[in-house]
A = this chain, B = another copy of it.
Amino acid sequence: MKMTKIIAASLVASSVLFAGSLADKAKSMGLQPIPIDKNELTKLTDPNGTITPERVELGKKLYFEPRLSKSGIISCNTCHNLGLGGTDGAPAAVGHMWVANPHHLNSPTVYNAVFFKSQFWDGRSPHLEDQAQGPMQAAPEMASPASLVVDRINSIPAYVEEFKKAYGNDVKVDFPTITSTIGIFERTLVTPSRYDDFLNGKDDALNDAEKEGLQVFMDQGCASCHNGVALGGTMMPFPMIKPYKFADVGDFKGDKKGMVKVPTLRNVTETAPYFHNGQIWSLAEAVQEMGRTQLGKNISDEDTAKIVTFLKALKGEKPEIVYPQLPESTATTPKPDFN
């Protein structure tokens, strides 16, 4: 109910004359920048104060750690590649034994996922620490029983040592601790862009075409769902007004109420193909399909081009990641299993 009200309010707001600056208008419509102020950013990304440098460094190792998969060759980074906008560039992932995702679900980006209100396309997970438990255990993804993950990590003394450094000597290196540490690393994957500079008051951070694009983006109603810091990350009914063009691919219907998570638009030029089933490769086509299904309107080619110009400005600066050296296996480390 609340959501519907918000949508309605946004749509009204976007169609009335707005007296303030474009940046102020954007903020009044729920668009929020990544804060410049470190404390403010921390409030958003680390509300429970779990982030420490030791945990981030360890979480990074685990993020790139293929031994968390049954086969030993699939890591978080395989499908959420930090060099490819945090995705795999495929409509839907294949995982262990080359099995395709049974719901034909597209691997969403991990960049800025910390700003999402919930995780997974159906929003079933409350946060990154919980989310990390899913793909690791899923048969068509990393296919690792939790016990295998725990056994692999605990068989490597250098890892256990790092967990002690990160959490204290009494730490139990169990599955929730391992996956939480990955979540903590993911909390740092934030990509500020020129768009943020603009919302943070630097008027010339966007050029005129990009500003016009932002204006059209709001006027057309895109910000009704693509808002907040992530320009997405909340649950919305999908499709809302007209059927989705590729509804026949995969059997994903969202949660019980047909709700689907709104994907972030940050770095959107890097995260094709689009939609939960990765069926649309062109950003322009994706914009128009959204107009049709969610807003019940045909967005003209001209307006679409303007919106796309704006969307390109959401490409952010990625944090520098030094590729981690992973500690070596020992005689007791469970062997890779390709079956």
Residues of A within 8 A of B (CB): 61, 64, 66-67, 71-73, 78-79, 81-85, 88-91, 93-94, 97-98, 100, 269-270, 272, 281-282, 318, 320-326, 328-329, 331, 335-336, 338
Q: Which residue of B is nearest A323, CB measured?
A: B321
B318/A325 in contact, CB under 8 A:
yes
Shortest distance in angstroms between A279's beta carbon and chain B's nearest beta carbon? Answer: 12
Return 22 A-B CB contacts under 8 Å, by A number: A61-B83, A66-B81, A66-B84, A66-B89, A67-B89, A71-B90, A71-B94, A72-B88, A73-B94, A78-B78, A82-B323, A83-B323, A84-B328, A85-B328, A98-B338, A272-B328, A272-B329, A281-B331, A281-B335, A318-B325, A321-B323, A322-B322
Shortest distance in angstroms between A325's beta carbon and chain B's nearest beta carbon? Answer: 6
The CA of A313 and the CA of B320, in the complex, are separated in Å by: 31
**This protein's copies in its complex:** 2
- Residue of A318, A321, A325 most packed against chain B (CB within 10 A): A325
Shortest distance in angstroms between A148's beta carbon and chain B's nearest beta carbon? Answer: 14
Q: From B73, B85, B320, B338, give the contact of A322 (CB < 8 A).
A: B320
Contacts of A270 in B (CB 8 A): 328
Smallest CB-CB A-B distances: 10 pairs: A98-B98, A321-B323, A83-B326, A90-B336, A270-B328, A323-B323, A97-B98, A83-B324, A72-B89, A94-B338
Shortest distance in angstroms between A66's beta carbon and chain B's nearest beta carbon? Answer: 7
The CA of A120 and the CA of B281, in the complex, are separated in Å by: 38
The CA of A227 and the CA of B323, in the complex, are separated in Å by: 30
Q: Which residue of B is nearest A107, CB measured?
A: B73
The CA of A228 and the CA of B320, in the complex, are separated in Å by: 36
User: By DSSP majority rule, is chain A's interface helix, strand, loop, or mixed?
Assistant: loop
Q: Which residue of B is nearest A93, CB measured?
A: B73
The CA of A97 and the CA of B97, in the complex, are separated in Å by: 8
A90/B338 in contact, CB under 8 A:
yes
Q: From B90, B318, B329, give the contact of A73 (CB < 8 A).
A: B90
Q: Which residue of B is nearest A273, CB measured?
A: B335
Give 7 A-B pairs besides A67-B89, A73-B78 with Cβ atoms closer than 8 angstroms: A61-B83, A66-B89, A73-B90, A73-B93, A84-B328, A98-B98, A270-B328
Contacts of A322 in B (CB 8 A): 320-323
Q: Which residue of B is nearest A73, CB measured?
A: B88
The CA of A76 and the CA of B335, in the complex, are separated in Å by: 22
Shortest distance in angstroms between A135's beta carbon and chain B's nearest beta carbon? Answer: 14
Contacts of A325 in B (CB 8 A): 83, 318
Q: Which residue of B is nearest A335, CB measured?
A: B281
Shortest distance in angstroms between A71's beta carbon and chain B's nearest beta carbon? Answer: 7
